């Protein structure tokens, strides 16, 4: 069975079993990019079909594309170092280990902030205080001792990008990666008609479509800050250009 046939079989079964109403899948083989689309944007009868150009909230891909990739480019250019203290760029950090948090700890997710309920809870309750809560909460362990994948390190990396470059994260990403790579459908500001964007879910805000799904990302975006951990919108074809 060919790769294409296997992909079709898996996706069509997932749609039948209501894992999701539709999806796009892409791959690069022998230097050739292929993107296939399956199903519809929602479960409603007559909903628009998913196409290869359907835009998705790519969520935590944002942590890598563009946030950590920009940091790596700044490292390559000598504008930041792995052993730089985070407080050199974010002096607002107030926990007891503030002087020991290094850029390398943020990149490797070995800084664990003590945020019961996570930043999503903070975003729902007091969105305007999200960064203040992050800056002032304690750590659960000294930096570098334990790995724990969370949003907080990427949020701080996004802020560090902005403070080094003197421009918002989205502008830096556009200049360094999206424009040079021809990622024309990749943005923090989709502004597209509803039929061009896949909804992510229905939550306390209603149907989330074209707005950042992640609550902390939504809160930061509402305050005018492109978030470093979530909130990027893209197509499968565009993501494959970032190889």
State pLDDT tens for residues 158-211: 999 999 999 999 999 999 999 999 999 999 988 888 778 999 988 888 888 988
For the whole model, what pTM was predicted?
0.93
Residue 2: which pLDDT band, with cuts at 50, 70 and 90? confident
Across the chain, mean pLDDT equals 93
Strands 22-29 and 201-203: unpaired
Q: What is the model's pLDDT at position 127?
A: 80
- The answer to whether the CB of 84 falls within 8 A of the CB of 160 is no
Q: Which residues contact 152 (CB under 8 A, 6 or more apart)?
A: 111, 113, 115, 119, 134, 229
Cis amide leading into 31 (omega within 30): no
Tokens of 74: 């700044």
The answer on pLDDT for 154 being more than 90 is: yes
pLDDT over threshold 90, residue 108: yes
Residue among 40, 48, 68, 7 nearest 232 (CA): 68
Angstrom CA distances, 178 to 218, 233, 234, stand at 22, 12, 10
pLDDT tens per residue, range 51-60: 999 999 999 9
At 102 the three-state DSSP class reads strand
**DSSP H helices in 166-242:** 169-173, 215-222, 236-241
Q: d(Cα 93, Cα 136) in Å, to the nearest integer? A: 6
227, 158 Cβ separation under 8 angstroms = yes
Domains delineated in the chain: 3-58+183-241 (no CATH), 61-174 (3.40.710.10)
Query: Is pLDDT at 103 greater than 90 in this prediction?
Result: yes
């Amino acid at each position: 069975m060919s790769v294409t046939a296997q992909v079709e079989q898996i996706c069509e079964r997932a749609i039948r079993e209501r894992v999701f109403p539709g999806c796009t899948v892409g791959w690069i083989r022998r230097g050739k990019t292929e993107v296939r689309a399956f199903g519809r944007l929602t479960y409603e009868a007559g909903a628009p079909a998913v196409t290869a150009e359907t835009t998705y909230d790519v969520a935590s891909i944002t942590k890598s594309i563009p946030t950590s990739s920009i940091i790596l480019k700044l490292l390559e250019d000598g504008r930041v170092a792995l052993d730089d203290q985070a407080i050199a760029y974010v002096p607002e950090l107030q926990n007891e280990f503030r002087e020991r948090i290094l850029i390398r700890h943020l990149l490797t997710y070995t800084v664990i902030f003590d945020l019961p309920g996570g930043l999503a809870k903070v975003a729902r309750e007091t969105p305007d205080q999200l960064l203040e809560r992050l800056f002032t909460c304690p750590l659960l362990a000294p930096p570098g001792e334990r790995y724990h994948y969370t949003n907080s390190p990427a949020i701080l990396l996004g802020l560090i990008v902005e403070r080094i470059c003197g421009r918002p994260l989205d502008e830096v990403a556009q200049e360094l990666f999206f424009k040079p790579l021809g990622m024309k459908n990749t943005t923090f500001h989709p502004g597209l008609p509803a039929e061009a964007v896949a909804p992510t879910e229905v939550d306390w805000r209603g149907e989330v479509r074209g707005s950042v799904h992640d609550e902390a990302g939504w809160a930061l975006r509402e305050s005018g800050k492109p978030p470093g951990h979530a909130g990027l919108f893209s197509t499968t074809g565009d993501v494959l250009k970032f190889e």
